[in-house]
Amino acid sequence: MSAFFATCPKGLEYLLRDELAAMGAADVREALAGVHFSGTLETAYRACLWSRLASRVLMPLAEFDAATDDALYAGVQAIDWSQHLASHATLAVDANSAQSKLTHSQFIAQRVKDAVVDQFRQRDGSRPGVDTDEPDVRINLRLRRDRATLSIDLAGAPLHRRGWRELQGEAPLKENLAAAMLLRARWPEVYAEGGALLDPMCGSGTLLIEGAWMAADVAPGLHREYYGFLGWAQHDIAVWRALLDDARQRAEAGLRALRSCFFGSDADPRMVQTAKRNAQEAGVAGFFTLDKHDVTHVSPPPGCGRGLVITNPPYGERLGDRADMPRLYRALGETLRERFAGWRAAVLAGDTELGQAIPLRAEKKYALYNGALETVLLVFELHARSEAPREVKPLSEGAQMLRNRLEKNVRHLRKRLEREEIHCWRAYDQDLPEYAAAIDVYGQVKGGPWLHIQEYRAPADIPAETARHRLREIVRVAGEVLGVPRERIALKTRERGKGGSKYGQFDQRGEFIEVAEGGLRFLVNLTDYLDTGLFIDHRLVRAKVRELASGRRFLNLFAYTATASVYAAAGGARDTTSVDLSATYLDWASRNLSLNGYTGAGHRLMQADAMTFLQRDRERYGLIYVDPPTFSNSKRAEDFDVQRDHVQLLLACADRLTADGVIVFSNNFRRFKLDHEALAERFSVDDWSAPSIPFDFTRRSDIHGCWLLRLHAQASPWGDSVNHVRNQGRR
């Protein structure tokens, strides 16, 4: 078994993970813009041949520190390259770097090439040549935080190049992104149920061809003539030929059974001709009907009562005038609503604003990247329009009580929220026991505010259907009182299962919205995770961090999305270091820092277990923020329990604290008891829990605790604003 890494555009990771697992890959786990997996060489070949989503398949050879060009050169030379290419063969090197001392990708690639060529020259005087287009071996060097990963690129060229595209439009859609759109829109299911595929702005035909190959079980790499392993010294020809023979047989059988249910049109006659040529190259032209007309003249084909309308309209970036785009999207939505009842539709909108121009409510939204452009895929179920407006049912007595309470809360909070410019706040927190939920508002968002509603566990004696009905009433009342449409309400529900009540499976939309707090900007995700990326009950704790940060070096442990690091930077911290085990959260943290202009070497992001980092790090910090989870059972770190382990954690922080430094320690375990007796020898402790609770959380005064710790023999920086506790063994 060997380790491999399949790259893909951001937003496709979960789909690619499932695809590789279905192929038989082992140890499959997603990462940023790719998926790790393991298997045999046959597994990697199959991924190259059959993956509809991957961009490349990399086989790592070595990982080493490369903070200097000499270290990089030595690390590359440590590999015996005669095991991978012949002396007369050709090679090419791709390199990329992030958060490393070596930053110039062309220089890095040159040093890698030099190290390989020099090894051959030193051995027998020969040297491989260079071919940047179709080399015998393509080498990939990825440098992250001065750590290099050196791999063989088994794909050789991007896998989205299927081998059928002879002509393309001005803004072509990559084939793997088209495949992701089709999978998100559940095209295989639509086809299996007898449905058709229609693209009313088909361009060069990418979506239709990908849809046809998917339906016919044609391997996406079957028409490719070049792969990066074909000239590799360890290439297994027999394994590859067997895979190709199997793929050809499957394609022949699939094309024989394929239905003629693919329809496309475009307002540009040149694009219609381009789509026809490409369909011929792909071997599916006989199953297509392609016409010239604009989106307003599209109708369901005769005899097709159901199917999928899928399209990638212009965004106004490379194609079309941006000012005209909302009108186009609106016309598309009206056509779908008027003529395609019973169908499903999927539209890749250039941005959220363009998506909102479509006069339809999306059932699902997914963030996808079309090259460097962040786009949103909207999926719609097109229902028949009712002749009469739907009668709005009157509220039940309980729901009316809920409405009265929520309106009272809003009136009570509104003036202070406006005065203090607070845009993310809690409007309701189980004020009425029968309506067990928390309602949070995320305001000052492009397009209007969002609501985030989390259901609390209902008492065991409440029937499940009653709880579901009350939750529906909460959503309706919250939307009406706060003026937020249903499509902008994110709902987190509990489901009863083994082990008791628990939250159900979340969406994987990758949809972020930008919100404001304290004059700073943050990205939140309301749908994919239990937490949103911004703990709004910690608003005052973050403000305290900003107040204390001036001139200090700042360390953020269990950094999550690094909102506290952004506050520290805004408060004048000399530098920030954010530590978390999750690569997903560190990427999110990087985006939050960048969003506020805090980039560069002065803002470190470290993927590490907090205790391990404290044991290995030799730096000292003037301000340390520690906000650990209640417990953690990560496979990459020792089990953590905040009640059991907080003393050990804080004493480890003391060793990294300057003499006049401060630790801000908080957590959300409501039964937590700080062990003053165990901490008294090193620290003076100020209990800052009560002052740290925002006014909109007063119903939950125990939602978190917060303590300010400093080493002994220093004057207290807190003054009389908190209850100072020194050398006491109780809270």
Over residues 234-278, the pLDDT tens digits come to: 999 999 999 999 999 999 999 999 999 999 999 999 999 999 999
Residue 512: pLDDT band by 50, 70, 90 thresholds? confident
CA distance 63 to 141: 10
For the chain, give the percent of residues with pLDDT over 90: 76
Higher pLDDT, 384 or 617: 617
- Stretch among 59-63, 309-313, 367-371, 636-640 having the lowest mean pLDDT: 636-640
Q: Does 690 map to a domain? A: yes
- Stretch among 155-169, 210-224, 375-389, 573-587 having the lowest mean pLDDT: 375-389
Is residue 329 within 8 A of residue 349, CB to CB? The reply is: yes
The residues, any chain, with a CB within 8 Å of residue 228's CB and separated by 6 or more, are: 135, 137, 138, 152, 153, 154, 155, 156, 157
What is residue 528's three-state secondary structure?
coil
Q: What is the separation of C-alpha 95 from the centre of its chain, rounded to a whole number of angstroms?
A: 24
47-68, pLDDT tens digit by residue?
999 999 999 999 999 999 999 9
Asked if 672 and 571 sit in the same domain, the reply is: yes
* Tokens of residue 336, six digits: 């779908």
Q: What are phi and psi of 418, to 5 degrees?
A: -70, -40
End-to-end CA distance of the chain: 55
CA distance 703 to 393: 36
SS (H, E, C) 271-297: HHHHHHHHHHHHCCHHHEEEEECCHHH
DSSP 8-state class, residue 383: P
Q: Which pLDDT score is estimated for 494?
A: 62
CA distance 569 to 563: 10
Q: Which pLDDT score is estimated for 638?
A: 67
* Tokens of residue 543, six digits: 């403000």
Question: Which among 105, 122, 153 is the end of a domain?
Answer: 153
Is residue 223 within 8 A of residue 164, CB to CB? The reply is: yes
Helix (H) or strand (E) segment spanning residue 73: helix 69-77
CA distance 368 to 181: 9
Q: How many residues are present in the chain? A: 731
What is residue 617's three-state secondary structure?
coil
Asked if 707 and 579 sit in the same domain, the reply is: yes
* Tokens of residue 483, six digits: 């003026």
CA distance 515 to 450: 10
CA distance 20 to 310: 25
CA distance 177 to 376: 12
Dihedral, CA of residue 522, residue 523, residue 524 and residue 528, to nearest 10: -160
671-727, pLDDT tens digit by residue?
999 999 999 999 999 999 999 999 999 988 899 999 999 998 643 443 333 333 333
* 612 pLDDT above the threshold of 50: yes
What is residue 229's three-state secondary structure?
coil
Q: Which pLDDT score is estimated for 725?
A: 35
Is residue 547 within 8 A of residue 571, CB to CB? The reply is: yes
CA distance 83 to 85: 6
Q: Does 730 map to a domain? A: no
Higher pLDDT, 496 or 27: 27
Dihedral of alpha carbons 599, 603, 609, 613, sign: positive
* 323 pLDDT above the threshold of 70: no
Residue 467: pLDDT band by 50, 70, 90 thresholds? confident
Q: What is the CATH number of the domain that holds 26?
A: 3.30.2130.30
CA distance 425 to 438: 11
Q: What is the CATH number of the domain that holds 421?
A: 3.30.750.80
Asked if 447 and 318 sit in the same domain, the reply is: no
Higher pLDDT, 1 or 413: 413
Q: What are phi and psi of 248, to 5 degrees?
A: -65, -45
Q: Does 164 map to a domain? A: no
The residues, any chain, with a CB within 8 Å of residue 415's CB and separated by 6 or more, are: none
Q: Which pLDDT score is estimated for 598?
A: 96
Is residue 30 within 8 A of residue 14, CB to CB? The reply is: yes
Question: Which among 350, 381, 412 is the end of a domain?
Answer: 381
Counted domains in the chain: 4
Residue 134: pLDDT band by 50, 70, 90 thresholds? very high
CA distance 167 to 478: 52
Q: Which of 357, 358, 350, 353 is nearest to 376 (CA)?
A: 350
Q: Does 527 map to a domain? A: no
Q: Which pLDDT score is estimated for 632?
A: 76
Beta strands in 447-585 (DSSP E): 450-455, 489-492, 494-497, 500-503, 513-517, 520-524, 553-557, 575-580
Asked if 621 and 474 sit in the same domain, the reply is: no
- Most distant CA atoms of the chain, gap in Å: 90
Is residue 267 within 8 A of residue 162, CB to CB? The reply is: no
* 488 pLDDT above the threshold of 90: no
Residue 496: pLDDT band by 50, 70, 90 thresholds? very low
Is residue 350 within 8 A of residue 375, CB to CB? The reply is: yes
Helix ranges (DSSP H) in 185-230 = 187-192, 206-216
Once rounded to an integer, what is the mean pLDDT over residues 172-177?
Answer: 91
Asked if 22 and 117 sit in the same domain, the reply is: yes
Q: Does 72 map to a domain? A: yes
643-662, pLDDT tens digit by residue?
999 999 999 999 999 999 99
Q: Does 699 map to a domain? A: yes
Asked if 79 and 106 sit in the same domain, the reply is: yes
Q: Which pLDDT score is estimated for 590?
A: 96
* 214 pLDDT above the threshold of 80: yes
Residue 4: pLDDT band by 50, 70, 90 thresholds? very high
Amino acid identity of residue 631, one-letter, is F
Asked if 10 and 62 sit in the same domain, the reply is: yes
The residue to which tokens 């505010």 are assigned? 449
344-349 and 307-311: which strand pairing?
Answer: parallel
Helix ranges (DSSP H) in 340-395 = 352-356
Once rounded to an integer, what is the mean pLDDT over residues 361-373?
Answer: 88
Residue 391: pLDDT band by 50, 70, 90 thresholds? low
Q: What is the separation of C-alpha 345 from the centre of its chain, rounded to a whole number of angstroms?
A: 23
SS3 content of the chain, % helix, strand, coil (to 5): 35, 25, 40
* 524 pLDDT above the threshold of 50: yes
The boundaries of the domain holding residue 127 are 2-153
The residues, any chain, with a CB within 8 Å of residue 546's CB and separated by 6 or more, are: 518, 567, 568, 570, 571
Asked if 140 and 190 sit in the same domain, the reply is: no
563-575, pLDDT tens digit by residue?
999 999 999 999 9
Q: What are phi and psi of 135, to 5 degrees?
A: -70, 160
Once rounded to an integer, what is the mean pLDDT over residues 577-592?
Answer: 94
Higher pLDDT, 122 or 370: 122
* 285 pLDDT above the threshold of 60: yes
Asked if 401 and 358 sit in the same domain, the reply is: no
Higher pLDDT, 179 or 354: 179
Asked if 422 and 357 sit in the same domain, the reply is: no
489-492 and 34-39: which strand pairing?
Answer: unpaired
Q: Which pLDDT score is estimated for 500?
A: 41
Asked if 578 and 464 sit in the same domain, the reply is: no
Asked if 573 and 704 sit in the same domain, the reply is: yes
Q: What are phi and psi of 557, to 5 degrees?
A: -95, 145
Q: What is the reported pTM? A: 0.58
Question: Which among 319, 348, 381 is the end of a domain?
Answer: 381
Is residue 101 within 8 A of residue 65, CB to CB? The reply is: no
CA distance 134 to 699: 66
72-114, pLDDT tens digit by residue?
999 999 999 999 999 999 999 999 999 999 999 999 999 999 9
Q: What is the CATH number of the domain that holds 287?
A: 3.40.50.150
For residue 192, how many other CB atoms are within 10 A of its CB? 10
CA distance 601 to 156: 33
Q: Does 509 map to a domain? A: no
* 462 pLDDT above the threshold of 90: no
Q: Which of 200, 252, 246, 174 is nearest to 12 (CA)?
A: 174
CA distance 533 to 422: 17
CA distance 141 to 153: 10
Once rounded to an integer, what is the mean pLDDT over residues 321-335?
Answer: 82
* Tokens of residue 504, six digits: 């159900």
Q: What is the separation of C-alpha 583 from the centre of its chain, rounded to a whole number of angstroms?
A: 11
Dihedral, CA of residue 89, residue 94, residue 97 and residue 101, to nearest 10: 40
CA distance 335 to 201: 13
Mean pLDDT of all residues belonging to the chain: 90
Amino acid identity of residue 581, one-letter, is L
* 169 pLDDT above the threshold of 70: no
Q: Which pLDDT score is estimated for 326?
A: 83
Q: What is the separation of C-alpha 73 from the centre of its chain, rounded to a whole number of angstroms?
A: 34
Q: Does 234 map to a domain? A: no
For the chain, give the percent of residues with pLDDT over 70: 91
CA distance 100 to 185: 39
2-7 and 34-39: which strand pairing?
Answer: antiparallel
* 185 pLDDT above the threshold of 50: yes
